Amino acid sequence: MTVQEKIRQRRRQMLVHSYIYYELNENIISDSTWSKWAKELQELQEKYPKEAAEVEEAENFKDWDGSSGAFLNFGENIKTVAKILLEHKNCSNQHKTPIFAQNVQKTTLKSQKVKSNTRSLF
């Protein structure tokens, strides 16, 4: 994984899990996991500022110190992924197939895209 790919992954994780925590009043990962990812992202952005500036969400993470995700801006894509992950978690706890999974199974291509977009967010 390149530095830019790792920055993108960590930014998406920060956005998705911050949205789940601050906007949906839930959590999927522990505070220690979130803090670990936040610290790694903050260090990567400091160490590789040029590369970080070229990765999506650069403006959202400008001057971000990793202490909180409360003031990040959440786009519709992030909100959708967060809701899918939360639904998956809740259905897994109840041993049900998530509605999103039922709908995704109808279209293989769509299924592959959702899986690839959400795989690295846990």
Quote the pLDDT of residue 89.
84
Single-letter amino acid code for the residue at 92: S
Which 8-state DSSP code applies to residue 115? H
**Per-residue pLDDT band at 81 (split at 50, 70, 90):** very high
Tell me what pLDDT residue 6 has.
Answer: 98
Domain interval for residue 45: 3-121
The residue ranking higher by pLDDT, 16 or 104, is 16
Our count of domains for the chain comes to: 1
C-alpha distances in angstroms, 39 versus 24, 44, 66, 78, 122? 23, 9, 6, 20, 16
Q: Are 38 and 66 in contact (CB under 8 A)?
A: yes
Dihedral angle sign, alpha carbons of residues 54, 81, 121, 22: positive
pTM of the predicted model as reported, rounded to 2 decimal places: 0.78
Q: How high is the pLDDT of residue 91?
A: 82
Average pLDDT, the chain: 86
Q: Is the pLDDT of residue 19 over 90?
A: yes
